[in-house]
Structure 1
Amino acid sequence: MIDLVDQPVGPNGRLPLGGQVTSNLLSGPGSCPLGADRPAPDPATDWEAFPLMARRLAQASTMLVVFGVLVGCSTSDEQREYNVPAVLCNVPVDPDLVSPFLPPGKTVSVRKKTPVPSRTRCQMDVDGKWALIASQEWWTEGSSISEVADAHPELESAQPTDGNALLHSGTGAVARVGSCANADLPEHVLYTAIQVYASEREDASAMKKLITAYTNEVERSSACR
């Protein structure tokens, strides 16, 4: 209830300018009048002080965050509808080593290309788009691993390791095959290379494992016999 303090009333039935209004509006027995000086609830310690709607919104927001994390962790597996190949153009490779560099999609295809006699490329496409290329390349003796890396755009930030026998980054790698010779290409050294073209698939640690496994299999293949 709102009470008006006794004030002269103007001819139009309204309070004159400067008339005072006091409020006896109470929220319940023992409550302070509206506007009285009382401490505000601390949201950090007094959960019950929050209105019901605010609490429900906070709980809903928390649930959405948890749901988003769970969805984010499972999206790639759910969207990958193809099986990761276990062979890269006659070179066996553990699919778990290739998997980190392949994007979601419906179909995968593997094609072997030989642009020049000294190079063999194994191109893997997902839904018709380049995803990964693994290659075997014969370079003249004396060529450094850095020179080989310069020929591959996905290796711009790579640094040599393992005594300059391997160079890798999160999206590509080059390695020298240890014991390998080709009668048709004397005075040449065989290198392996991997380049990742799928977006958001950078993983330097996984790349080192992949290029190492791939190079070891190439060394045991007919390419070195």
Structure 2
Amino acid sequence: MVVGSDRMRRRLPRQVLEATLSAALFIGVAGCGGPESFTVSELCGRKVDSALVAPFLPKGETLKVDDGISAPEQPRCQVYVDGDLHLYVRGNIDKADFDILKATERSMRRLGNPAPARGIGDGATIADHGAMAVQACTYKGEKSQYILEIDWVDTPKNTAERREALEKLLRAHLPVIMEAEGCRP
């Protein structure tokens, strides 16, 4: 009995150690399946600084960037996290004599508190949940204008941060997407 007790004493710490290591490993593996931060380096088939898109993407399990809804002269893309739309980017080439900012004033109001943004294209509006910019350009030898719209934006939760992030993305992405579409300023 004494020999058996010694054996039990030697085994017990090893069993406790194994159980503790198993529990730690399980917790570590379970933690790996948690929400992730995502990186998006292309919008509508055009390169974009991933740091400019990151503020709009909450942590989650899955990321989907759908640019299959694009057409010639009309790049479109939607960015989903866990199946929820968090960013919708649309570009259009239109006639130069059409005042898109005035025409879309009502729809910009639905995005919350639209205000002009200086230094972006020929005119831009930033709202609480979206933004729009217009830039005159020449497309296929004709005077045109390029319109870039961004909406369905609810992240970051702080409105001032969200508006600032929208302005940065709009400012950086407008010239990139215009050039890619062949609409020269």
Q: TM-score, normalised by structure 2?
A: 0.65
Structure 2 residues not aligned, in runs of 5+: 1-32
Q: Work out which of the residue numbers 121, 142, 146 in structure 2 matches 1:190.
A: 146
Q: Work out which of the residue numbers 207, 210, 214 in structure 1 matches 2:166.
A: 207
SS in 1 for 2:104: helix
2: distance between equivalents of 1:150 and 1:160? Answer: 14
Question: Which structure has more helix as a fraction of its residues?
Answer: 2
Name the larger-Rg structure: 1
The match for 1:219 is 178
2:78 corresponds to 1:123? yes
How far 1:111 moved relative to its partner? 1.0
Q: Work out which of the residue numbers 125, 140, 143 in structure 2 matches 1:167.
A: 125
How far 1:152 moved relative to its partner? 5.3
SS in 2 for 1:220: helix
The match for 1:145 is 101
Task: Evaluate the alpha carbon distance shift between residue 219 and residue 118 of structure 1 in structure 2; reply closer, same or farther with a 3 A threshold.
Answer: closer
Task: Evaluate the alpha carbon distance shift between residue 147 and residue 127 of structure 1 in structure 2; reply closer, same or farther with a 3 A threshold.
Answer: same
Q: Work out which of the residue numbers 42, 47, 53 in structure 2 matches 1:92.
A: 47
- Number of residue pairs matched by the alignment: 145
2: distance between equivalents of 1:214 and 1:120? Answer: 12
Pairwise CA RMSD: 2.9
Could you give the per-residue CA deviations for residues 12-66 of structure 1, whole angstroms, max 9, x where no partner exists? Answer: xxxxxxxxxxxxxxxxxxxxxxxxxxxxxxxxxxxxxxxxxxxxxxxxxxxxxxx
2: distance between equivalents of 1:224 and 1:215? Answer: 11
The match for 1:157 is 113
The match for 1:181 is 139
**Identity, % of aligned pairs?**
24
Task: Evaluate the alpha carbon distance shift between residue 149 and residue 120 of structure 1 in structure 2; reply closer, same or farther with a 3 A threshold.
Answer: farther
How far 1:157 moved relative to its partner? 1.5
Task: Return the letter of the residue paired with 1:159.
Answer: A
